[in-house]
Chain A
Amino acid sequence: AQSVTQPDIHITVSEGASLELRCNYSYGATPYLFWYVQSPGQGLQLLLKYFSGDTLVQGIKGFEAEFKRSQSSFNLRKPSVHWSDAAEYFCAVGGSSGGGADGLTFGKGTHLIIQP
């Protein structure tokens, strides 16, 4: 069965500092990987996705993520955070065999706090 682990429940970063959010997955075949962001009281927005190809993926809002098969990781990074980045971040894994979003497994989320 597939699973996603986000080891950090909360992360606090100063505005302007760099950010890395960790995500480890377990999946028997080629995973499809996603990062979603959820601002308070809002729905989820896709930041980026990895299906295949270049292991460094660029997303919206200046975010990037790197797929490392050997470490089963898909960590999210941003070189300089802004106060508006404060939100909940969810990593998700889906199967390359299809099955739709019913095959999508979310991590428990990481709550990002930005200090002035």
Chain B
Amino acid sequence: DTEVTQTPKHLVMGMTNKKSLKCEQHMGHRAMYWYKQKAKKPPELMFVYSYEKLSINESVPSRFSPECPNSSLLNLHLHALQPEDSALYLCASSLVRSINTGELFFGEGSRLTVL
């Protein structure tokens, strides 16, 4: 199994809603990442988890709250989002948090629209 699975694929939410994005991998990877990608732009790193611990938070607003319940799962909890938060949210994983051990495996993304 070489997949990173993200759900839901599409999400529409109002600014007062609370929702969550989910990511799952069963490759035994111990590093997991959330990226945000706006249209026609490269992905921007948001969070990095290494061995289920938050390693990096790239100054992301608190309305985005990551959670790593176990080594296979990564969630992104969303609350009080703004329309400018509409984007494709990509989850990725790697064997460990080290650039020289291999590639990032990306999921297909969750396309979020905030009304």
Contacts and interface: CB of A to CB of B under 8 A. Distances in A.
B90 to A, nearest CB: 6
Given A100-B55, A104-B99, A43 B45 contact: no
Nearest to B99: A94
Contact of B99 (A41, A100, A109): A100
Contacts of A36: 106
Interface stretch (A13-21, A45-53, A66-74, A75-83): A45-53
B96 to A, nearest CB: 8
Most buried by B among A44, A45, A96: A44
B92 A101 contact: yes
A34 interface: yes
A90 B94 contact: no
A42 interface: yes
Given A101-B45, A106-B43, A44 B99 contact: no
Interface string A55-68: 00000000000000
A98 interface: yes
Contacts of B6: 43
A109 B50 contact: no
Interface residues of A, number: 27
B4 interface: yes
Contact of B55 (A44, A94, A96, A102): A102
A109 B42 contact: yes
Contact of A43 (B50, B56, B100, B106): B106
Query: What 10 A-B pairs come out closest when comparing CB atoms?
Result: A43-B106, A100-B97, A106-B42, A94-B99, A46-B103, A44-B106, A102-B56, A43-B108, A98-B98, A102-B48
Interface of B: 4, 6, 31, 33, 40-43, 45, 48, 50, 55-56, 58, 90, 92, 94, 96-100, 103-104, 106-109, 111
Interface of A: 32, 34, 36, 41-46, 49, 51, 90, 94-96, 98-104, 106-109, 111
